[in-house]
Amino acid sequence: MTIKVQQWVILQLQPRQAKMVDGYSIRRIRKSDYEGVVETLKVLTVVGNLSRSEFEKIVEYWDSITVSETTKLYNPLVVVDDTTGAIAATGNVLIERKLIHEGALCGHIEDIAVSRDHQGRQLGRYLIEQLTALAVRAGCYKVILDCDPSNVAFYEKCQFTRAGVEMQFRTT
């Protein structure tokens, strides 16, 4: 059994600052993004043996689940290199309906990854800000994420602050 402790980071809402780099665009993930998303996520963690079929089923599932008439539970985005069509970055914000705060919404940013070929261009920062803005537009009272201590400085540049400790219990 492994119990791992990490820092939680929480957003203090401020105006968006990063600008999209010329030659890139951002959009919701598509089933056809399989190769690019899987390769990009390998920068972050072990993806494992996720088949194209499994990926497509997950994307369909994400597209089908809503929190309200106008808000999806899963909001996976990709940053695309407009010249090559390659996936340059990916991330997701989940919108959770809470029992606390009178049933308020909370955004959870997950699985932020920037392809090695596209790092150093502020794409990660732009992606974080777009995911955060999506959560704010959905009405979230806060947006949280957890990260490795080595990434805290990056998230602080994205206007997040330390706000607690994450605990985990791994089953495998």
Domain total of the chain: 1
Domain that holds residue 13: 3-169
pTM > 0.75: yes
Q: What is the pLDDT along the chain (172 residues), one digit of tens a residue?
A: 333 334 444 444 344 455 678 999 999 999 999 999 999 999 999 999 999 999 999 999 999 999 999 999 999 999 999 999 999 999 999 999 999 999 999 999 999 999 999 999 999 999 999 999 999 999 999 999 999 999 999 999 999 999 988 898 999 8
- Which domain CATH number covers 43? 3.40.630.30
Residue pair 5/167 in contact (Cβ under 8 Å)? The answer is yes
Q: Which of 52, 137, 45, 48 is nearest to 90 (CA)?
A: 45
Encode 12-40: b = buried (16+ Cβ within 10 Å), e = exposed.
Answer: eeeeeebebeeebebeebeeebbebbbbb
**How many residues are listed for the chain in this entry?**
172
Take residue 154 and report the two structure tokens written for it: 């990056």
